[in-house]
Structure 1
Amino acid sequence: MKYAVVGAGAMGLRYGLLLQEVAGKEVDFVEPTKASIDQIKKQGNVVYQSRDHKDKHEVPVKVYSPEEYDEHPDVWIFFMKQMQMADTLKRLAPKFHDDQVAVGAMNGMGHIEKLEAYFAKDKIIGGTAMIATILNDYGDVDFIGASNTGTSAYSNLSGVKTEATKEVMADFQAANLNPSYSNNFMGTLLTKVFFNAVENSIATMFQARVGELLAYDQFIDTIAKPMVHEAYDAADAAGITLLETREEMLVQMDEVARNIVPLHFPSMYQDFVKNRPTEADYINGWIADLAEKNGVAAPTHRFVTNLVHLAEDMRQFNPPVNQLAQ
């Protein structure tokens, strides 16, 4: 399989570099953000890769703007901010073909519906990645955690695992992405959304590493638990069953923050300290919308969405301290 990774941010670089360097696959990066592609080209068509702020080294890459790209990959992997998706797909539309597979493992919700405008259901693979990664700067990525840690999960939108999906899963396994597969499409996607709705949003507002949240010894019981129950109530009302139970989700939140990547700053924080819009509307806001569409309420998630936006506006008075390079 030949891959085109759309978006050379933290997760796009993580997936692409692992596929290229570990699995030995041919990978192209298609970068819709001009400042990012300019920086990578200025560096001599290399990106800098570190692990836990150590062993920084150059990795050669092939990077193109959407307009420049004229290759024919077997698989497109989309990793960008939800608010970038529609425009990027429009720019790439002439490059899409019926034999290609689209993988969307982005944060939040909203991208799958956009992919459906360009790809058939049996060609769309939705996914989630519990893999901590930091973009220090354009073309400079830091893998957080030990090698071959972190997991990812995938599902075909059609509900049927195809031969192409099996090949993608094999390549992802070879790349140390530790993939699993389920025919439960929405359950697969929402498992990560519900996780991020707690740890990403709260860590961002308090400018904290995920492990630091546990300094408040009531974090799981008094903050995470009510938010998880509210999100699961919304899913139940919509007839969606997640891959994990409520209790398993809470145990995972504690384990990830305490033992797996306690020093990680989530992607929402990374946007926040760089004065970019966050994806709160596509995570907490999406959960609140799901609840209301199905006759229940998720007031905490609606409140948290608005608090994140308030924190964004407060940056003009209290500029955040970028701790990513520390």
Structure 2
Amino acid sequence: MKIVCIGAGAMGLRYGVLLQEAGNDVQFVDTWEPNVAAIRKQNGVYVTRDGKNEHLVEINVCFPEEYHDEPELAIFFIKDMHTREVMDRCKHFIGKKTHVLTNQNGWGGAEMIAEYVDREMIIAGTAMIATVMRGPGKVDFIGKRGEGHVHIVRVAGEPDEFIQRVAAEMDKAKMNPTVCNDYRGTVWTKLVFNAVVNTLCTLINVKMGQFAEYEGAENLTRRLMTESCAATAAEGIKLELDCESLVNQVMYVSKVGNPLHYPSMHQDMSTNRPTEVDYMNGAIVRLAEKHGLQAPNHALLVDLVHLKEASRKYTVE
């Protein structure tokens, strides 16, 4: 399959490298100039797994304006708030037969992509795969090969032949894909998970396992999930798990699955980039208010993350 990964950051590299190793024709497109420069100078990206066994994987990378082919699949891994900006730079190579896959963290990315691409050509979904960018041209795959899983779902329509082809290639790459049927339910299930671990680990500056060690972590998770489940139920969104099962999932993944992992929002905060809190906790707040409900715990977290973002301009004396 001819694939272009739009965004050669942590997750874009994880997907692209694995799919390239599985035999696909993969090109990377990125807008981060230091990253493009480093990859070109190295003739590839340095990959580690859990911080060990660094090796160079040869990949090709270019800026959006330099890519003029027409891929079968464009994998979009750009922060939610930059979706329109990057789609504007990439729209010239998104042909009528190009499908776009997005596994962005929050809610809204696929809807913005739909301003450029027919909804029937968009595949959304979620990824339970931890990856960390160590710097320009350097990426760390967290977890053993074959750990983690990916859920993919068509934004409009039932599963078709193409999404099954994508799943087959992901299976070859040991990404453990599941083809789902419910777009909103699939995406929101991961969003409400992210709105706990991403946000709290970022605010407190801890890894997921350290969060789970706190004796009040489960009750704190339950308070946030209760607000999330009320908002999604009011909208008629059927999550993949019930509220208590979602609490258990957060605790299990934090304790067992990725205890040594800093979530992506933490990575953004620590590198002085804007966070996606408005597309995670903020999305829950907006959904609750739409139905006359309140989500005060999520609303407080939004304000606290933005306060922490603003405080980065101050240095500790």
> Which segments of structure 1 move beyond 4 Å, counting only runs of 4 or more?
none
Structure 1: distance between partners of 2:143 and 2:315 = 31
1:164-198 alpha-carbon deviations (Å, 9 max, x no partner)? 11100111111111111211110000111100100
The equivalent of 1:297 in structure 2 is 294
Structure 1: distance between partners of 2:38 and 2:189 = 34
The equivalent of 1:248 in structure 2 is 245
Aligned length: 316
The equivalent of 1:103 in structure 2 is 101
How far residue 316 of structure 1 moved from its aligned partner, in angstroms, is: 2.6
How far residue 153 of structure 1 moved from its aligned partner, in angstroms, is: 0.6
Residue from 229, 234, 242 that aligns with 2:231 = 234
Q: Secondary structure at the match of 1:119?
A: coil
1:134-213 correspondence runs (5 A):
134-213=132-211
Instruction: Give aligned-pair identity as a percent.
Output: 40
Residue from 91, 94, 117 that aligns with 2:92 = 94
Is contact 2:48–2:54 with CA below 8 Å preserved after alignment? yes
The equivalent of 2:9 in structure 1 is 9
The equivalent of 1:38 in structure 2 is 37
Structure 1: distance between partners of 2:315 and 2:296 = 27
Is contact 1:101–1:123 with CA below 8 Å preserved after alignment? yes
Query: Which amino acid is 2:17 matched to?
Result: L
1:206-225 correspondence runs (5 A):
206-221=204-219, 223-225=220-222
Structure 2: distance between partners of 1:214 and 1:104 = 29
Structure 2: distance between partners of 1:150 and 1:57 = 22
Is contact 1:159–1:185 with CA below 8 Å preserved after alignment? no
Is contact 1:122–1:162 with CA below 8 Å preserved after alignment? no
How far residue 314 of structure 1 moved from its aligned partner, in angstroms, is: 1.9
Structure 1: distance between partners of 2:127 and 2:213 = 25
1:249-285 alpha-carbon deviations (Å, 9 max, x no partner)? 1111111111111000100010111111111111111
How far residue 82 of structure 1 moved from its aligned partner, in angstroms, is: 1.1
How far residue 35 of structure 1 moved from its aligned partner, in angstroms, is: 2.3
Is contact 2:164–2:179 with CA below 8 Å preserved after alignment? no
1:74-127 alpha-carbon deviations (Å, 9 max, x no partner)? 000000111211111001111111111110101111111111122222211111
Structure 2: distance between partners of 1:3 and 1:174 = 15
Is contact 1:30–1:64 with CA below 8 Å preserved after alignment? yes
Structure 2: distance between partners of 1:32 and 1:304 = 30
Q: Secondary structure at the match of 2:234?
A: helix
Structure 2: distance between partners of 1:241 and 1:230 = 15
The equivalent of 1:310 in structure 2 is 307
How far residue 315 of structure 1 moved from its aligned partner, in angstroms, is: 2.1
Structure 1: distance between partners of 2:30 and 2:291 = 37
Is contact 1:159–1:184 with CA below 8 Å preserved after alignment? no
How far residue 42 of structure 1 moved from its aligned partner, in angstroms, is: 2.3
Is contact 2:99–2:121 with CA below 8 Å preserved after alignment? yes
The equivalent of 2:28 in structure 1 is 29
- Cα-Cα RMSD: 1.1
How far residue 215 of structure 1 moved from its aligned partner, in angstroms, is: 2.2
Residue segments in structure 1 that go unaligned for 5+ positions in a row = 320-326
Is contact 1:122–1:160 with CA below 8 Å preserved after alignment? no
The equivalent of 1:263 in structure 2 is 260
The equivalent of 1:115 in structure 2 is 113
For normalisation by structure 1, the TM-score amounts to 0.95
1:117-132 correspondence runs (5 A):
117-132=115-130
Structure 2: distance between partners of 1:151 and 1:49 = 20
Structure 2: distance between partners of 1:154 and 1:229 = 26
Is contact 2:71–2:93 with CA below 8 Å preserved after alignment? no
Q: Secondary structure at the match of 1:67?
A: helix
Q: Secondary structure at the match of 2:65?
A: coil
Structure 1: distance between partners of 2:56 and 2:5 = 19
How far residue 318 of structure 1 moved from its aligned partner, in angstroms, is: 4.9
Residue segments in structure 2 that go unaligned for 5+ positions in a row = none
Structure 1: distance between partners of 2:312 and 2:67 = 37
How far residue 202 of structure 1 moved from its aligned partner, in angstroms, is: 0.2
The equivalent of 2:71 in structure 1 is 73
Query: Which amino acid is 2:292 matched to?
Result: G
- Counterpart check, 1:277 vs 2:293: no
How far residue 29 of structure 1 moved from its aligned partner, in angstroms, is: 0.3
